[in-house]
Structure 1
């Protein structure tokens, strides 16, 4: 097999490019699993560390043996499912008590080093294994009777080398970039740069949605290889799984106060061997974790596995996500308050005319606050659909179940209400104007509160918000309620991703060609990832080598696309910050939404030129003649150029230019227009001027 050496060489090169070099090489294993039905070795705890530079193997073991006699160890080492070496070891050469010969009973081995020759280590482990991040290295030890050759036991231990793609700094960096995208969107909206604000918002939401999909994949009850498992773990923060000591303290206290029983997997980690899922297992009883074949070995899978990897007790996962949601909500409110008081001060100090105009019209901060609450509901919907519904199945305490139900129903109702209002206004606009664009983009209140739902789509495809919400809901239900069957989760996920990909490719609902291209690419990547998940479920009973290769494909495909989305978002930051007129960077959208949108810079009094008029007026303080459209005494409006009017005509020597009587009034709401509402507000499809106001 020439594929595996080439694959390992590629990963080796990647490791040297992406990761720092450790001071010492090491391999370590912290748990074992049984690979035979009737094992004579039952493990409570095991720790093994191999230091090749020091020619030492450190070992600590606590377990029981159920065999008497001389045995031999057949040691197989697998890399990504490929058997790279096989060695036979005589335990009598290791000088370990109870192994020469093997004797029934407890076998405690304290944490001590054993000297091993460097040649022996080199023959067992290739050099590349010390550098590849999250290497899929598995050591299988088959214990056989020395005389008869009969198999006595079989155990497996996954090995790590200290390198991993799961780095907390990656999550923090992505979180900061996403938060900046949301803040920049709000600031640009306030300043009236609606076009680029829409693009920054779309790119931010696309990146966040893709990362949430990765996190939800990691919560499936599948057998993930280390590389795929740790990759999805990088995005756990997008669904509220964040480790903090004070969060765990609050969650544990609340559960005990409400009659629940906290789990103790993390606190007892030193007393039991905790393993991630190796193969499919049956349904679990309440508060019972499956064993790996005896002893105090525990298996965690799905959501519990992601919580365990984040050092969060399974009983605290939901409450942690709930508390993180409120922390983000408070942070969002503080940010809006800071913007409310900071922007006017900055405007006054900088003496920026455009910023002054944007803020002088009276920014609707209440509208922004309400819109931010709706936006927060949309951003947190994946975590409430998955973790909130999972809590109903988990049943940590009655109070936590009530909180989960309330939060799920509240966010669902908020998004449902917002979607209904958008549909209602769009239908009303289509009935009057044969186009939904006017109503959706001319009303600032609608745009501020519910615009985040539809501004990313073409005006004619506003309805795509409903499939998007249903898509998130179904994925959350699959994660929450199908934890007992990995195969069912993989098949359902594949169906959902295929349906969404087809809908996105056929409808192309997004605002422009570039947005559609990236959205279609994201849906295709998710569909291919779903195929990888189906392979991980072992439904095809494929060899381990195939699963290892698919894992590498899964990682590189998603990592490259995530990096592309990050660069895509950072470019929009550059245009938003560096360009004097950032909106000019982007073409006007084809649905002509800008013609109807009332930006903050337009929401000001129509008296900006009055000082200039006063300066050039040749008549001093003489009263100006009335406007040709001024109302008469009986309240009717007649033009001064009307032939029936006594003053028809305009004397350029005796009168000032006409001035509208509405100059001192603020702009009217588009829904309080005195024009006959049955007249179209935009040009009709026939191309004539029947739809133009006169």
Structure 2
């Protein structure tokens, strides 16, 4: 397992990769922190290069005040006011600032020299902290007084961020390997290991999808929280690719929609990732020739961070879903043709039996389509329903409705079939789970819904689907109010945590522990969302501290789940059972066949054989009713007068007995031993656990 520490080190390194190694602080947009519109900004770019002791500035905006002013600059880090200093605009030697004059004020890209005292104000750590939460607030006051004229503020960032595409790719590969491994092991008959690998993969993927859905909420996220959730937007199908954007834009125009142009307007407008509005708000700036300030939040902010136009978000997710489905089907076809060839070269009886002609490949195909519907359900519950609200085009609305209804109907039908099988099994066997775990066809098609749960807790699939649906509805339809979203998410996470903790539905103690831990962390994340919504009007430093807690809590647990999954890979490669609490029940059906060897003393049917054997001469015990010849009962067995029927056991002859010199032969002696894979109840399928009669083996 040497690859585990190396992989984790790689993930940590990816989280801190900078764009360049040069020290840099930059600001790309400003917003107003006062009620006036005296300072309007079309575009601003500020780069601080301490190595050169210079500040590069480019500005295009409008000033609405005449008179001499002073700038009071406040520097905030994670909501804490680090320092404050005053700046005379005449020292900047910029036109229209000394004194300030009304009108348009363009400043071309030009450098300004910084003094050593100004650079000493900035701590060295500010250049290296990922997703630096730093804010510069400039209060414009009248010269010689403290009367406020206007106020603007600009978030400052460096080149370090936890949002790196490599992180998503690395975790995506791990999740894909987990799904592929579980399918291959299931086909080969190692359903116990396959169930554990599948559970751990689904737990990791579900947790990452929750992180992605948090990132789509309409909260005023700090950079660290925003970029952390941005790493996992691929789990809901939001993946940037130029050809996908081209197809989505073409489809929208062809179906009567109007594509947005936020990405192409970055050079002429100021784009702010704030919570000021539900949708894209384009505020016209007065007297500047139609300048605009675009404010984004929620799902649109998430799309902008992924370099995706807001009107292409749903279509991108839709196309990614079909790409994954095609890739999955191609992979299954490759497995179908590759594994038999491998089994011939390996000369393994288990592989040959598992990959015989009776293998239900159609069942595997259908089951994996159902599984894909389950994996994609969060994205269609959130982005699909959001499309009904956003309305990019009529055709996209129809696609969103069809996909949401299709996935919901498929999962609803599968859930109904599971409940129907359980009810029928209860009526026939007084056990609702006998059919669910003894029928290979049921396991192949719908087992992904309930194999992760205890046998008697199969019904927990209904609360799980309801949880995903309600969460998607909250994300999609409550983008107007961050407070309402936060409250609803918190109530939902609390209800699911209580249900998971009380019922403990999963297959063993370890699975329940990790599932409850994931639910607890989601609940704490829900509390963080409530704080991010500013419902308490808390100080900025509180939001900064909560952001750090949110990041480290979720990052540590994500790494823990990845390690948890990698350990299951270790078991899968060694084909070793991951736990001893649940083990395979021994298949003793061969014990009911007579032994073909002379050594029958070790068989479990020896007492029964003694009971039915004819008594020897001189024994006063009653003769066995089986010791008959031609319909007459013989009271004693005479070895000197054996009959033809006594020389060999004949199941078709009523008077057959046992020959003392030649042991009886089983009627199945000339047949090859039966393969356990051909039995109606396959012994490798999950049955009942040895610890109690309520759970089941996984």
Shared fold per TM-score greater than 0.5: yes
- Secondary structure of the residue aligned to 1:650 is coil
Distance across 2 between alignment mates of 1:63 and 1:412: 50
Are residues 259 and 566 of structure 1, via their aligned partners in 2, closer, same or farther at CA, if it must alter by over 3 Å? same
RMSD: 3.0
Assess if the C-alpha contact under 8 Å between 1:134 and 1:164 holds in 2: yes
Shift of 1:119: 2.5
CA deviation string 1:465-484 (max 9, x = no partner) = 00000000000000000000
Distance across 2 between alignment mates of 1:227 and 1:357: 53
**How do 1:460-609 residues align onto structure 2 when only pairs under 5 Å count?**
460-577=456-573, 579=574, 581-583=575-577, 585-589=578-582, 594-595=584-585
Shift of 1:651: 2.8
Distance across 2 between alignment mates of 1:446 and 1:640: 45
Distance across 1 between alignment mates of 2:153 and 2:627: 98
Shift of 1:161: 0.5
Assess if the C-alpha contact under 8 Å between 1:444 and 1:597 holds in 2: no
Distance across 2 between alignment mates of 1:427 and 1:292: 66
Q: Which has the larger radius of gyration?
A: 2
The answer on 1:647 being equivalent to 2:641 is: no
**How do 1:167-206 residues align onto structure 2 when only pairs under 5 Å count?**
167-206=164-203
Shift of 1:191: 1.1
Q: Which residue of 2 aligns with 1:657?
A: 665
Are residues 481 and 292 of structure 1, via their aligned partners in 2, closer, same or farther at CA, if it must alter by over 3 Å? farther
**How do 1:341-360 residues align onto structure 2 when only pairs under 5 Å count?**
341-360=337-356
Q: Which residue of 2 aligns with 1:305?
A: 301
**How do 1:198-597 residues align onto structure 2 when only pairs under 5 Å count?**
198-277=195-274, 279-281=275-277, 284=279, 288-289=281-282, 295-360=291-356, 362-577=358-573, 579=574, 581-583=575-577, 585-589=578-582, 594-595=584-585
- Secondary structure of the residue aligned to 2:666 is coil
- Secondary structure of the residue aligned to 2:505 is coil
Distance across 2 between alignment mates of 1:379 and 1:662: 50
Q: Which moved more, 1:20-29 or 1:258-267?
A: 20-29
- Secondary structure of the residue aligned to 2:453 is coil
- Secondary structure of the residue aligned to 2:302 is helix
Assess if the C-alpha contact under 8 Å between 2:131 and 2:162 holds in 1: yes
Q: Structure 1 unaligned segments of length 5 or more: list them.
A: 1-13, 615-638, 672-680, 688-694
Distance across 1 between alignment mates of 2:232 and 2:406: 25
Assess if the C-alpha contact under 8 Å between 2:130 and 2:160 holds in 1: yes
Distance across 1 between alignment mates of 2:15 and 2:398: 45
The answer on 1:153 being equivalent to 2:150 is: yes
Shift of 1:108: 0.7
CA deviation string 1:73-99 (max 9, x = no partner) = 000000000000101000000011111
Shift of 1:15: 9.8
- Secondary structure of the residue aligned to 1:143 is strand
- Secondary structure of the residue aligned to 1:28 is strand
Distance across 2 between alignment mates of 1:682 and 1:243: 46
Distance across 2 between alignment mates of 1:486 and 1:538: 9
- Secondary structure of the residue aligned to 1:75 is strand
Are residues 655 and 516 of structure 1, via their aligned partners in 2, closer, same or farther at CA, if it must alter by over 3 Å? same
Assess if the C-alpha contact under 8 Å between 1:640 and 1:647 holds in 2: no
Assess if the C-alpha contact under 8 Å between 1:15 and 1:132 holds in 2: no
Which of 110, 125, 129 is the aligned partner of 1:132?
A: 129
Shift of 1:558: 0.2
What TM-score, normalized to structure 2?
0.84
Assess if the C-alpha contact under 8 Å between 1:46 and 1:61 holds in 2: yes
Are residues 268 and 336 of structure 1, via their aligned partners in 2, closer, same or farther at CA, if it must alter by over 3 Å? same
Which of 76, 79, 95 is the aligned partner of 1:78?
A: 76
CA deviation string 1:336-360 (max 9, x = no partner) = 0110111111111222332223213
CA deviation string 1:106-147 (max 9, x = no partner) = 111111111112321222x11111110001100000111114
**How do 1:16-95 residues align onto structure 2 when only pairs under 5 Å count?**
19=16, 22-95=20-93
Q: Which residue of 2 aligns with 1:626?
A: none
Assess if the C-alpha contact under 8 Å between 2:133 and 2:156 holds in 1: yes
- Secondary structure of the residue aligned to 1:390 is helix
Distance across 1 between alignment mates of 2:502 and 2:524: 18
Number of equivalenced pairs: 621
- Secondary structure of the residue aligned to 1:100 is coil
Are residues 442 and 661 of structure 1, via their aligned partners in 2, closer, same or farther at CA, if it must alter by over 3 Å? farther
Assess if the C-alpha contact under 8 Å between 2:42 and 2:60 holds in 1: yes
Q: Which residue of 2 aligns with 1:143?
A: 140
The answer on 1:165 being equivalent to 2:162 is: yes
CA deviation string 1:448-499 (max 9, x = no partner) = 0000000000000000000000000000000000000000000000000000
Q: Which moved more, 1:127-136 or 1:563-572?
A: 127-136
Q: Which residue of 2 aligns with 1:632?
A: none
- Secondary structure of the residue aligned to 1:298 is strand
Q: Which residue of 1 aligns with 2:639?
A: none
Assess if the C-alpha contact under 8 Å between 1:490 and 1:533 holds in 2: yes
CA deviation string 1:533-592 (max 9, x = no partner) = 000000111000000000000000000000000000001001111x2x413x42253xx8
CA deviation string 1:618-668 (max 9, x = no partner) = xxxxxxxxxxxxxxxxxxxxx994866632323365676122499689946
Assess if the C-alpha contact under 8 Å between 2:212 and 2:230 holds in 1: yes
